[in-house]
Chains A and B, each alone.
Chain A
């Protein structure tokens, strides 16, 4: 009989090495997969992981794709550490796009360097407002923030849909549901010429550093870690769980809102009925792959972004179907979970030891 037995002390080194092992195992499984499909594995892996990064434009696109994942992933990771399960970052992102994009449309005729900062601030407020709803309901009525934040995502999508189908529709757009294109004053400055890499990427890197500092160097960060690992110990120490719920949710809302306005004022350039291919949800995966550590999240975001770029590239250069990208991402997560299990547990073969039975009946 096969069973899992908890290890007394999971190895610290292994916790950080497990994503590396998982990536290695995914590559091995990928080689098998491609050989079965009749595609030379070397070509396929090259198309997936190397070719997208072989030009400066490719590198800048990696940054563009990873920016929303970094911003949201880092913020969610802090919440997850404090046992605050914000599943609705997608909705907070959408509200950020609505608030930030709304300011951009409101100031459509204004050509001032203050338009963009106003949009970014409005977007953070919008995201925080949306995150405040689950925070209030959780701290006041003990409602599950998982359900509330998740369901508010759909409300946010419909709100955006209403706005671009109605009041914010481009007057010269044949009634198609999209806003006007933002003017230069409402568009994010580009870091490299002839690319789409915008200052949002720099903002995301700043958030990584700030989050690392808060978590490891401040009292709040310490409280988050204590409450997350031992809620009762935190309570005895006089840490307010409610305060942390508010703080982590508002921070995630602000970060997701920022990600939203960065998408619409950066690569998209206007408001559309759908502005994100699920970054708010992908960021949950990214947060865990990155071990809930800001730098880990940064690396995980880049890896996840690379897998999307690689998927597109494999379709173009090798005519591989899109489903392969999905299988590949799924493999990576599966391997990561498997490695995690084996770090915390060891496999035992044989009947259950009688000592445990005796302990249970005693």
Chain B
């Protein structure tokens, strides 16, 4: 690069910076708050990303002209994430939500470079003055659907389509299994890992394999409706993931754990508008409304509905903790004695199966 071209490039950068400063100034004058969202999947996944996008729309509905929202979908969790997050931060966004664990280090890095922009990272553990974390206690919902599965399985085998063997997913499998075996002590859970959050083909194949092994109920921790659709075709039952998927499997869906980020996204956006935003760590469950249980399907009889409702209510009031002792691990050792419950720290790093889960946890 010759000196002159370098000079030109520098002038261009300086001009671009000035323009973006003016842009930021103007947006403040107009009182328009710009909120950006980075999604790991497509907005049409009808699962995880779909629900985050519903939260984005809730922000738009609440604040109308006072906000402008932007999203970037199917962002790879590797080298691309940092560029996308930085682009949002440098284009006048006041608040940026990054909605997958794999965006953690990129978010933390960009947050350091843009101290005036507020960042919110879902499901991670790195925080800073301008970087909050938030997640939902989905395991509370897992306990409710585990209860239903315990009541309704005839073969005593429940299939579970897992994404990655990370604590979040293992916690869900364990909460599900504990609740299931409370009502059906002989039932077992078989897990198939698909090593993806969103891969309808593989997810569907995993469900088929589990049904072939005798499972008559399919639970999933992946984002597409494919496992549920397979359950519908094969005449067995299943649970929707992240959103109400009954449209894809009207007969098969017993219920669904619905992620509801609407009020969190509204509250955090309002905090930025008011200037009251602070870095926080939020982990909301059924009580906070972040985790909801979708309407029951026809296949769930009244007595089972009543019992599942009772579990959900007990969890939301704090009477019941999905991980209260005694809890026995796969080796038959009591790891949580009666009268104690697992702490949040222990839940965050969970890497062992409870009794009743078949197979070894990949390590």
Is A272's CB under 8 angstroms from B12's CB? no
Determine whether B350 belongs to the interface, using a CB cutoff of 8 Å to chain A.
yes
Determine whether A142 belongs to the interface, using a CB cutoff of 8 Å to chain B.
no
Per-residue A-contact encoding for B83-102, CB less than 8 Å = 1, 0 else: 11011101100000000011
Determine whether A275 belongs to the interface, using a CB cutoff of 8 Å to chain B.
yes
Determine whether A270 belongs to the interface, using a CB cutoff of 8 Å to chain B.
yes
* Other-chain contact of A175, B73, B77, B350 (Cβ < 8 Å): B350
Distance in angstroms between the alpha carbons of A272 and B165 in the assembled complex: 14
Given known contacts A176-B101, A315-B73, A316-B70, A54 and B79 CB-to-CB distance under 8 angstroms:
no
Determine whether A216 belongs to the interface, using a CB cutoff of 8 Å to chain B.
no
Main secondary structure of the interface of B (DSSP, over half): mixed
Determine whether A313 belongs to the interface, using a CB cutoff of 8 Å to chain B.
yes
Determine whether A267 belongs to the interface, using a CB cutoff of 8 Å to chain B.
yes
Determine whether A185 belongs to the interface, using a CB cutoff of 8 Å to chain B.
no
**In the complex, which residues of chain B have a beta carbon less than 8 angstroms from the beta carbon of A313?**
87
* Other-chain contact of B78, A59, A277, A308 (Cβ < 8 Å): A277
**In the complex, which residues of chain B have a beta carbon less than 8 angstroms from the beta carbon of A272?**
77-78, 102
Given known contacts A55-B13, A321-B73, A174 and B79 CB-to-CB distance under 8 angstroms:
no
Which residues of chain B from 1 to 19 have a CB within 8 Å of any chain A CB? Answer: 9-10, 12-13, 16
Determine whether A276 belongs to the interface, using a CB cutoff of 8 Å to chain B.
yes
Which residues of chain A from 116 to 161 have a CB within 8 Å of any chain B CB? Answer: 157-158, 161
* Other-chain contact of B83, A61, A161, A322 (Cβ < 8 Å): A61
Determine whether A90 belongs to the interface, using a CB cutoff of 8 Å to chain B.
no
Is A174's CB under 8 angstroms from B348's CB? yes
Is A312's CB under 8 angstroms from B82's CB? no
**In the complex, which residues of chain B have a beta carbon less than 8 angstroms from the beta carbon of A210?**
none
Determine whether B340 belongs to the interface, using a CB cutoff of 8 Å to chain A.
no
Distance in angstroms between the alpha carbons of A325 and B11 in the assembled complex: 30
* Other-chain contact of A277, B80, B88, B195, B351 (Cβ < 8 Å): B80
* Other-chain contact of A275, B9, B78, B125 (Cβ < 8 Å): B78
B362 to chain A, nearest CB (A): 6
Given known contacts A54-B16, A55-B12, A177 and B87 CB-to-CB distance under 8 angstroms:
no
Is B16's CB under 8 angstroms from A55's CB? yes
A67 to chain B, nearest CB (A): 10
**In the complex, which residues of chain A have a beta carbon less than 8 angstroms from the beta carbon of B77?**
272, 274
Distance in angstroms between the alpha carbons of A166 and B42 in the assembled complex: 29
Is B167's CB under 8 angstroms from A166's CB? no
**In the complex, which residues of chain B have a beta carbon less than 8 angstroms from the beta carbon of A54?**
12, 16
Determine whether A15 belongs to the interface, using a CB cutoff of 8 Å to chain B.
no
**In the complex, which residues of chain B have a beta carbon less than 8 angstroms from the beta carbon of A275?**
78
* Other-chain contact of A267, B10, B13, B72, B82 (Cβ < 8 Å): B82
Determine whether A23 belongs to the interface, using a CB cutoff of 8 Å to chain B.
no
Determine whether A317 belongs to the interface, using a CB cutoff of 8 Å to chain B.
yes
Determine whether A354 belongs to the interface, using a CB cutoff of 8 Å to chain B.
no
Total interface residues in chain A, CB < 8 Å: 42
Determine whether A269 belongs to the interface, using a CB cutoff of 8 Å to chain B.
yes
Distance in angstroms between the alpha carbons of A57 and B164 in the assembled complex: 34
Distance in angstroms between the alpha carbons of A200 and B246 in the assembled complex: 49
Is A166's CB under 8 angstroms from B125's CB? no
Distance in angstroms between the alpha carbons of A57 and B87 in the assembled complex: 10
Is A274's CB under 8 angstroms from B78's CB? yes
Is B164's CB under 8 angstroms from A277's CB? no
**In the complex, which residues of chain A have a beta carbon less than 8 angstroms from the beta carbon of B80?**
65, 277, 308, 312
**In the complex, which residues of chain A have a beta carbon less than 8 angstroms from the beta carbon of B101?**
176
A173 to chain B, nearest CB (A): 8
Most chain A CB within 10 A, of B73, B83, B88, is at B83
**In the complex, which residues of chain A have a beta carbon less than 8 angstroms from the beta carbon of B76?**
274, 277
Determine whether A234 belongs to the interface, using a CB cutoff of 8 Å to chain B.
no
Is B70's CB under 8 angstroms from A176's CB? no
B170 to chain A, nearest CB (A): 8
Distance in angstroms between the alpha carbons of A322 and B53 in the assembled complex: 14
Determine whether B316 belongs to the interface, using a CB cutoff of 8 Å to chain A.
no
Distance in angstroms between the alpha carbons of A57 and B84 in the assembled complex: 12
* Nearest opposing residue in chain A for B75, CB measure: A312
**In the complex, which residues of chain B have a beta carbon less than 8 angstroms from the beta carbon of A175?**
166-167, 349-351
Determine whether A56 belongs to the interface, using a CB cutoff of 8 Å to chain B.
yes
Is A273's CB under 8 angstroms from B195's CB? yes
Determine whether B296 belongs to the interface, using a CB cutoff of 8 Å to chain A.
no
Distance in angstroms between the alpha carbons of A267 and B80 in the assembled complex: 8
Determine whether A72 belongs to the interface, using a CB cutoff of 8 Å to chain B.
no
**In the complex, which residues of chain A have a beta carbon less than 8 angstroms from the beta carbon of B102?**
272
**In the complex, which residues of chain B have a beta carbon less than 8 angstroms from the beta carbon of A309?**
83
Distance in angstroms between the alpha carbons of A352 and B80 in the assembled complex: 53
**In the complex, which residues of chain A have a beta carbon less than 8 angstroms from the beta carbon of B195?**
157-158, 161, 273
Given known contacts A56-B9, A56-B13, A276 and B78 CB-to-CB distance under 8 angstroms:
yes
Per-residue B-contact encoding for A265-292, CB less than 8 Å = 1, 0 else: 0111110111111000000000000000
Distance in angstroms between the alpha carbons of A157 and B195 in the assembled complex: 10
Determine whether B283 belongs to the interface, using a CB cutoff of 8 Å to chain A.
no
* Nearest opposing residue in chain B for A158, CB measure: B195
Which residues of chain A from 158 to 184 have a CB within 8 Å of any chain B CB? Answer: 158, 161-162, 165-166, 174-177, 181
Is B165's CB under 8 angstroms from A177's CB? yes
Distance in angstroms between the alpha carbons of A263 and B16 in the assembled complex: 28
* Nearest opposing residue in chain B for A325, CB measure: B74
**In the complex, which residues of chain A have a beta carbon less than 8 angstroms from the beta carbon of B90?**
57
Can you name 17 extra interface pairs (CB under 8 A) apart from A175-B166, A315-B72? A56-B9, A64-B79, A65-B79, A174-B167, A174-B349, A175-B351, A176-B166, A181-B105, A263-B78, A263-B79, A273-B164, A274-B77, A277-B78, A312-B80, A316-B36, A321-B43, A322-B72
Residue contacts A-B, CB under 8 angstroms, 10 given: A59-B9, A65-B79, A166-B362, A174-B167, A175-B167, A176-B101, A267-B79, A270-B105, A274-B78, A316-B36
Which residues on B are within 8 Å of A, measured CB to CB?
9-10, 12-13, 16, 36, 42-43, 70-80, 82-84, 86-88, 90-91, 101-102, 105, 125, 164-167, 195, 348-351, 362-363
